Chains A and B, each alone.
Chain A
Amino acid sequence: MSILKVDGVTKRYANHTALDNVSFDIPAGCIFGLLGPNGAGKTSLIRIITQITGADSGEIYFKGEKLRPSHIKDIGYLPEERGLYKKMKVGEQLLYLAQLKGLTKDEATARIKEWVVRFEIKDWMNKHIEDLSKGMQQKVQFMATVMHEPSLIILDEPFSGFDPINANLIKDEILRLRDNGATIIFSTHRMESVEELCDNIALINRSRKVLDGPVREIKDTYKTDTYQVIGNGQLLVTSPDFEVLEQHENHGVFRASIRLLDGASPNDLLRYLIQRVEVHSFVELVPSINDIFIRKVKETYHA
């Protein structure tokens, strides 16, 4: 079941088109990567989903219903540009933002207590935001985003500004939220940072959707049956079933990228190699999302 369906969304500004007939589905309970370079239209799309702006044409369906203001309390949004009221105390700020999302004061207070324990920030509650370090502010902001337990959480460039330790903490939190049933949208231009986390992705470039689907399927589609081999010996491939794309040799150790041709299996290649050289490593070269993206983008430029 899809939690969010983007259906033919177009958004134009005075001088340019931010989104051009973009459609995709986000399955419930997954981590979804909304990927694309800066200026591709990711933030425009997110602002439409969070109802900050409206689409010129096209529809968005949230849990099967057309998006409407009452959905706001079921969506949590962490914008790329983080910000809090600097002169407010941490506790008051969290209470305020949670109440604006529709929690009652008592509910909000109870939730804050839980999170304070989880993030070990009890001592900060009465500090002003401006007295916190940037990393601490980010933690508070993350809490504010998920405090009302939304079923859809949108994180725009979530890891920018976090040190590795806090980034891992946030990563664990995100996985925990997913396991509790929330759907998470990651929006980022640094694709390698989310590849391992995402179940599904959509690639956007120049206001158009380039590609979408489950990460595993996409990678299967774009894999080239290429294997990297490292070993000892003189490698000379003469078989017509294999094509050597790249080969280096250094002090008797070789490293080669070899592609299978015409229905040859990896085992065929391995058997062929074992007869000739000593194999130390045999790995399938799977394209990274980044590689796929660059390939796709080049195709669209040439097309």
Chain B
Amino acid sequence: MHKIWLIIQREYLTRVRKKSFIIMTFLTPLLLAAFMVIPAWLATISDSEDVVMVLDESGLFADKLESKEDLKIIPIAAGSLEQAKTAYQETDYTALLHIPKLDLDNPEGIRLYSKKNTSLQVKFRLENMLEKEIESQRFMASGIDREMLNKMKANVTMTTVNLSESGERDSNVWVTSGAGIIGAVIIYFFIFLYGVQIMRGVIEEKTNRIVEVMISSVKPFQLMMGKIVGIAGVGLTQFLLWVVLSTIVVGGVQAAFDIKPAPTPIEQMQAGRDLATGEESAQSEKASQADMLSEVSSAISNLNFPLLLGCFLFYFLGGYLLYGSLFGAIGAAVDNETDTQQFMFPITIPLIISFIMSYTVVIQNPDGPVAFWMSIIPFTSPIVMMVRIPFGVPASELLLSMGLLILGFIFTTWIASRIYRVGILMYGKKINYKELSKWLFYRV
């Protein structure tokens, strides 16, 4: 036990002190902050700058186009287009909008001149204003008043409610599936990133030829498990540091720049709808938007966090150990990294399939047969079960899945240790599956 502890320490410390580890650990939260700050910052820049000159030859829009906070409209009293253009050239305004004499039924020929490419946002907003104005004029022509129209518009949002034995609970599909998917994605990447590190570590020991020195002091199994556990420690450390640092950095950035959190998908949808229906009707939706936000926060608070976190840690470690020992076995079976491809394939396939299935089939039907079986089988359960848990999984299924994952882990470790003890002393031999299967029953 003492020796395996020494090995764990070495594997952990050499990796944690590596420059690449330190850089990755500190850079990732900074990148995250940058992703938050830069778009918001860019938005503030472009918002303050937009000034548009308007030459309205039709006379339909006189005084109707109003300046907004971030989009200033400067009407040009009169003159030809050529004059306006020359005038525009002398300014540093964003664009020149030219409205020729218009037929209301067929509004064509409106042009936006600019020195640089105009942003889509400015174009959409101008189009929107003009459309609305033309619509209003058409309504008036047909005798419908705008207010009346707004009253007639319908807006439906549904509240989903979980009906279970423990009573009704507001749920929000976005929140529920989001929580699961985030957990699944983290587990997926963790298994891959750190599984490959185990493999590299074993290959390194093999090519450095230190392995024979090592196993004259410790058992191959101790060496393998020490490496797997040590690297798990590295992964957990990195993960925890990311969580802590991200919270600090993001919090700091928010405080310093006074930026609202990045828009959630719901808000983005809302924004999309605003654009479509026009800014005035957005006012009337404020109420339902507030509803939605309170619904999201209530759904978040309704998630069973202790269960979610506990399961996450279990499947996180269980999945890593299950696959980690296999990655270790691959490292032992080959001489260098280029030979790993043929053995990597069967290991990565279940991982990739379960990842793809989780955000397609499983998320659409978290209680369906595909989701059920994939969350029971140990090779896919760490990822698929994580997606299912927020939707509620019967305790019996959860226990079955966990039990099988433990059995699966014991099984793969057994296989791996058999391959490992033979493989690490084998050099210069091309290994195939038939050879590998023989190793399982070698007496060493």
Residues of A within 8 A of B (CB): 14, 47, 50-54, 56, 72, 75, 77, 79, 81-88, 96-97, 99-101, 141, 144
Q: Check B14 for interface membership: any CB of A closer than 8 A.
A: yes
For the complex, give the distance between the alpha carbons of A40 and B419 in Å: 26
Q: Is the CB of A144 within 8 A of B212?
A: no
The answer, among A75, A77, A100, for a CB contact under 8 Å with B218, is A100
- Provide 9 A-B residue pairs closer than 8 Å at the C-beta atoms, listed in order of the A residue: A52-B216, A54-B443, A79-B216, A83-B210, A83-B211, A83-B212, A85-B208, A86-B208, A96-B10
Which of A47, A53, A56, A72 is B217 in contact with, Cβ under 8 Å? A72
Contact A83 B215 (CB under 8 A): no
A83 touches B443 (CB 8 A): no
CB < 8 Å neighbour of B6 from A53, A84, A85, A96: A96
Contact A83 B6 (CB under 8 A): no
Contact of B14 with A97 in the complex, beta carbons under 8 Å? no
With contact pairs A50-B216, A72-B216, A77-B216 given, residues A82 and B209 touching in the complex (Cβ less than 8 Å):
yes
Q: With A83-B210, A85-B205, A100-B6 given, name 19 new contacts (CB 8 A).
A: A47-B425, A50-B216, A51-B216, A52-B212, A52-B215, A53-B444, A72-B217, A75-B216, A77-B212, A77-B213, A79-B209, A81-B209, A83-B208, A85-B14, A88-B14, A96-B10, A99-B6, A141-B213, A144-B213
**Cα A97 to Cα B216 with chains together (Å):** 11
* Distance of A100 Cα from B7 Cα, bound (Å): 8
Number of A-B contacts (CB under 8 A): 56
Distance between B444 CB and nearest chain A CB, rounded to angstroms: 5
- Give the CA-CA distance A50 to B214 in the complex, in Å: 11
Report B's interface with A, CB cutoff 8 A: 3, 6-7, 10, 14, 204-205, 208-218, 425, 438, 443-444
Docked complex Cα distance between A115 and B438 (Å): 45
Q: Which residues of A contact B14 (CB under 8 A)?
A: 85, 87-88
A14 / chain B contacts, CB cutoff of 8 Å: 438
**In the complex, residue of chain A having the shortest beta-carbon distance to the beta carbon of B210:** A83
Q: For the complex, what is the distance from the CA of A85 to the CA of B207, rounded to whole Å?
A: 10
Are B213 and A83 within 8 A (Cβ)? yes
Given contacts A14-B438, A88-B14, contact A100 B209 (CB under 8 A): no
Which residues on the A side are within 8 Å of B210 (C-beta)?
83-85
A12, chain B: closest CB distance, angstroms: 9
Instruction: State whether A52 touches B425 (Cβ < 8 A).
Output: yes
Q: Give, as a whole number of angstroms, the nearest-CB distance from B424 to chain A.
A: 10
Q: Is the interface of B mostly helix, strand, loop or mixed?
A: helix
Closest A residue to B13 by CB, please name it.
Answer: A92
A56 CB contact (under 8 Å) in B6, B205, B443: B443
9 interchain residue pairs of minimum CB distance: A83-B209, A83-B210, A81-B209, A79-B212, A100-B217, A50-B216, A83-B208, A77-B216, A53-B444
Least distance between A194 CB and chain B CB atoms (Å): 21
Residues of B within 8 A of A51 (CB): 216
Q: Which residue of B lies closest to A53 (CB)?
A: B444
Q: Which residue of A lies closest to B211 (CB)?
A: A83
Nearest B residue to A86, CB-CB: B208
Shortest beta-carbon distance, A2 to chain B, in Å?
Answer: 21
CB distance from B273 to the nearest CB of A (A): 56
List the A side residues contacting B205 at CB < 8 Å. Answer: 85
Q: How far is the CB of A48 from chain B (nearest CB, A)?
A: 11
Question: Which residues from A are CB-within-8-Å of B7?
Answer: 100
Whether the Cβ atoms of A81 and B212 lie closer than 8 Å is yes
B155 to chain A minimum Cβ distance, whole angstroms, is: 62
CB neighbours (8 Å) of A100 from chain B are 3, 6-7, 214, 217-218
Bound CA span A114–B104, Å: 99
Q: How far is the CA of A144 from the CA of B213 in the complex (A)?
A: 9
Q: Which residues of B contact A99 (CB under 8 A)?
A: 6
- In the complex the two chains form, is A101's CB within 8 Å of B217's CB? yes
Q: How far apart are the CA atoms of A99 and B7 in the complex, in Å?
A: 10
Q: Name the residue on A nearest B222 (C-beta).
A: A100
Which residues on B sit within 8 Å (CB–CB) of A97? 213, 217
How near does chain B come to A53, taking the closest CB pair, in angstroms? 5
Bound complex: CA A75 to CA B211 (Å): 17
CB distance from A10 to the nearest CB of B (A): 12
In the bound complex, CA of A107 to CA of B441 (Å): 41
The answer for the CA separation of A84 and B215 in the assembled complex, in Å, is 13
Q: Taking the nearest CB of chain B, how far is it from the CB of A146, in angstroms?
A: 13
Q: Nearest CB to that of B215 among chain A residues?
A: A52
Chain A CB within 10 Å — which of B14, B208, B211 has the most?
A: B208
What residues of chain A lie closer than 8 Å to B216, measured between beta carbons? 50-52, 72, 75, 77, 79
Q: Which residues of A contact B212 (CB under 8 A)?
A: 52, 77, 79, 81, 83
Which of the listed residues B208, B209, B216, B218 has the most CB atoms from chain A within 10 Å of its own CB? B216
In the complex, chain B residues whose CB is within 8 Å of the CB of A96: 6, 10
In the bound complex, CA of A83 to CA of B444 (Å): 23
| Bound complex: CA A82 to CA B211 (Å) | 10
- Residues in B whose Cβ lies below 8 Å from that of A47: 425
Q: Residue among B14, B208, B212, B215 with the most chain A CB within 10 A?
A: B212
